[in-house]
Amino acid sequence: MDKVSMMQSRPTIRDCKIYDLQRIFYREGNLTPMNGGLDIPFDIKRVFYIYDIPGGENRGAHAHISCEQFIVCMLGGFDVALDDGFNRDTINLNRSYRGLYVPPMIWASEINFSSGSICAVFASEHYTESDYIRNYNDFLQAVQSPIARKNEP
C-alpha cells in the first residue's frame, strides 16, 4: 500500500486492541500458542524480543508505515503509549497470555518497564528501515496532512 492510500484509511488508536490468547493449562506449566493469521491478526514475518531493560526505561518511540505489530509482555510489565496524531492512550501489559495489536501509522512507545521485563514483538513485515518513522514531528505531519484529515470521523 502506498503512503497516500495508507493516509486515506489511516488507523486510529481505536484500532489498537488487546487480544486474550489461548491458555492451555498443564500441571507442569502452561502453554500459549500463537499462530499468525489466527491468534494474531496477520501472518508473522519477524519476531524479536527486548530484554535486560533497566527498570523505568523506555523503548520504541516510532511508527511504521505499513508494518503491523503484536506486542506481548513475556515477563514483568510495561506500558505501551499509543498516539494516532489526534488521540492518545496507554495500555498496560503484564500477562504473557495477552497481546496488543498495533496497526501501521500509530506512534508506539514501550515505557515504564519493570526490572527484568521481556517484551516480544511479532511483526507482519521483515525489517526495513524505510518503513520506520522515527521523528515524532514527521509522524504528526504525515497523519495530520489534508489527505489524512479528509477521512476523519
Give the residue numbers marked as catalytic: 62
> According to the model, what pLDDT value does residue 147 have?
54
Query: Above 80 in pLDDT, residue 2?
Result: no
- pLDDT tens for each residue of 95-135: 999 999 999 999 999 999 998 999 999 999 999 999 999 99
- pLDDT tens for each residue of 5-42: 444 578 999 999 999 999 999 999 999 999 999 999 99
137 vs 56 pLDDT, higher one? 137
Domains and CATH numbers, the chain: 3-150 (2.60.120.10)
Strand partners for 71: 100, 121
CA distance 80 to 140: 18
